[in-house]
Amino acid sequence: MTNATRPLIAGNWKMNVLREAGDALARALVNRWQMAEPRNVELVLCPPSTLLSTVGNALEESTILLGAQDCHWEVEGAHTGDISASMLSDLGCRFVILGHSERRGAYGETDKKIAAKVGAAQAAGLKTIVCVGESLAERNAGKTAEIVESQLASSLPEEIFPEDTVIAYEPIWAIGSGKTPNIDEISYVHERIRAALNKRFQPEVALPILYGGSVTVGNAAEILAIQEVHGALVGGASLDVEAFCTIAESCS
């Protein structure tokens, strides 16, 4: 991991946990993290929208930040069931995940829509974790770099704040599968992402690149030691207090 940026570990709870359990989980995480040795690591929790207020209250006196899992690209309007970026900011969110493969795949979210969401989120003062990643078929066809670079180019709006932008490489085939690319594969993709970002942003900026996709206690230290990996977007393991904190403590 480079010294260019503070490591970021974000927990994506996805569509899991009800209010009472969510409150208990967040408070247990706060207690466990306060017991750890002081570390230069930024922790973010992204619970489902029903828990944003509850988890936000639990995190209030801690150093752990609140994030959301998605937002709409409009500031307000007739968008039944959606949540605007300003609403998230109003609840105390500091981050929002955008372009996750589960949103791209299940809801047909295009790069264009994701770029619009990124613009709206940053306009509302949120930091955006923008996800990119290839399917198994694309990987097997040798198109990983092509797909990731295309998504990266089209999912970031023309007007963007680099300091509020985080990229997360999440190979679709690895999410929830228990499988991960090998270290060389992760390193290669992250280096390609870094090269694309350096070309896009002149002068170069220390924009963080996270890895996501079956991050576990068993593989976190090795993954987080890769030069261009600046943290992790953690799914299932973020619902386990000890596992999530141990992953965060793996940042060197």
Q: pTM of the full predicted structure?
A: 0.96
The angle formed by the CA atoms of residues 135, 140 and 145, to the nearest 5 degrees, is 65
Catalytic annotation on 100?
yes
Active-site residue 79, yes or no? no
Given the residues 72, 100, 190, 230, the one annotated as active site:
100
Residue of 42, 109, 170, 228 marked catalytic: 170
Cβ–Cβ under 8 Å, residues 224 and 231: yes
Residue 10 · residue 234 · CB < 8 Å: yes
Considering the domain 8-99+110-249, what is its CATH architecture? Alpha-Beta Barrel (3.20)
Per-residue tokens: 212: 């996501």
Dist. CA 17–CA 121, nearest whole Å:
25
The full set of domain ranges for the chain reads 8-99+110-249
Measured distance CA(100)–CA(35) in Å, rounded: 32
d(CA 52, CA 34): 21
Query: Could you tell me if 134 and 171 are in contact, meaning their C-beta atoms sit under 8 angstroms apart?
Result: yes
How many Cβ atoms are within 10 Å of 78's Cβ, its own excluded? 6
Q: Tens of pLDDT along the chain (252 residues)?
A: 443 568 999 999 999 999 999 999 999 999 999 988 778 999 999 999 999 999 999 999 999 999 999 999 999 999 999 999 999 999 999 999 999 999 999 999 999 999 999 999 999 999 999 999 999 999 999 999 999 999 999 999 999 999 999 999 999 988 888 888 999 999 999 999 999 999 999 877 889 999 999 999 999 999 999 999 999 999 999 999 999 999 999 986
